[in-house]
A = this chain, B = another copy of it.
Amino acid sequence: MAEAAPCGSAAEARVRAWAAGHAARGRRVALVTSGGTRVALEARAVRFLENFSSGRRGAGSAERLVAAGYAVCFLHRARSAFPWARSLPQHGAALLDAFRLTPGDTPAVAADPAALPALLPALRDYHRATEEGVLLPIEFTALEEYLELLRAAARALAPFGSSVMFYLAAAVSDFYIPTSEMPEHKIQSSEGPLQITLKMVPKMLSPLVKEWAPEAFVISFKLETDPLILIDKSRQALEKYHHQVVVANILESRRTSVIIVTKDSQTPLSLSDEEIAQGMEIEEKIVNYLQGQHTLFIEKKV
């Protein structure tokens, strides 16, 4: 694979020391993965294959998990949605318009008053989480980085057994081009139509559940566009990888409804029109439900 991967062993040591501190104080730990991976089509890459993901599911869930008392390692695609920063203007004119030059002798800049109702609670929650050290953000961009960091984090968290939750919401590419089959230079358009052959990325759930962190509570996500195959694909994943939960969702309705699938249950969660009007997010229901499942999982183990 093409892009340089970061040093996994440094990440492993960092995550383990952070988690040990929280575990010593009786806090549960969650690894949340979020955002899409990037796959290069050329060795000196100009073109990439991207999996669609804003990272909203992961970032919103990380906020809720912190509120529920978890320490969260947030393994996310660089520049994707970030906990508590989601509701702020992040780009272009909207970002510039959020700041105001304040009149007076000393030049200063204040937040636009219109932005305050969203900004104040977000900043307070973010600062509290930062002071308590309950959010450990780690970034990836390339698929290779994601794979190496996931393995490092999983190994780092394994010693904390069933109290660890893996919440695998990242949109990971199923396909990549091996470096040996990749063109060195930018593909030339003058050579006519482009034929690309992509190989399958090995599924990380298998070694994660079998080898890296066999005692942990593992949740994977399944996003499909065809509702007819969603539940079958989710059950197949549970049978194949032997983990605990699949959160199943359909592209068009993923912001308002999901189905929580376990070996012997199938629980739809959705927002009512009233809840949507109140600004409630589906991640609140997902995390509430999974926190309960995690408790049951820990108790059965003990």
Name A's B-contacting residues (CB within 8 A): 38, 41-42, 44-52, 76, 78-79, 82, 84-85, 88, 90-93, 95-96, 99, 101, 107-111, 115-116, 119-120, 122-124, 126-127, 137, 171, 173-175, 184-187, 189, 192-200, 223-226, 251-252
A168, B216: Cα distance in complex, Å: 52
Task: Tell me which of B50, B90, B120, B199 contacts A91 (CB under 8 A).
Answer: B90
8 tightest Cβ-Cβ pairs between the two chains A and B: A174-B189, A82-B92, A109-B111, A44-B225, A194-B198, A185-B226, A196-B196, A185-B225
- A192 in contact with B200 (CB, 8 Å): yes
- B49 in contact with A45 (CB, 8 Å): no
Residue numbers in B under 8 Å from A107 (CB-CB): 116, 120
- B195 in contact with A196 (CB, 8 Å): yes
- A96 in contact with B92 (CB, 8 Å): no
Given A95-B90, A196-B196, check contact A101 B82 (CB 8 Å): no
The residue of chain B having its C-beta at the shortest distance from the C-beta of A125 within the complex is B96
A119, B96: Cα distance in complex, Å: 9
Task: Tell me which of B51, B76, B108, B184 contacts A111 (CB under 8 A).
Answer: B108
Residue contacts A-B, CB under 8 angstroms, 16 given: A42-B225, A44-B225, A46-B223, A79-B92, A82-B91, A82-B93, A85-B91, A96-B122, A99-B119, A108-B110, A108-B111, A186-B224, A186-B226, A193-B198, A193-B200, A196-B197
- A123 in contact with B99 (CB, 8 Å): yes
The residue of chain B having its C-beta at the shortest distance from the C-beta of A183 within the complex is B225
Residue numbers in B under 8 Å from A187 (CB-CB): 174
- B95 in contact with A88 (CB, 8 Å): yes
Residue numbers in B under 8 Å from A251 (CB-CB): 44, 46, 186
A91, B38: Cα distance in complex, Å: 18
- A193 in contact with B189 (CB, 8 Å): no
A123, B194: Cα distance in complex, Å: 44
Residue numbers in B under 8 Å from A122 (CB-CB): 96
- B186 in contact with A197 (CB, 8 Å): no
- B101 in contact with A109 (CB, 8 Å): no
A226, B43: Cα distance in complex, Å: 12
The residue of chain B having its C-beta at the shortest distance from the C-beta of A82 within the complex is B92
Given A79-B91, A185-B226, check contact A116 B123 (CB 8 Å): no
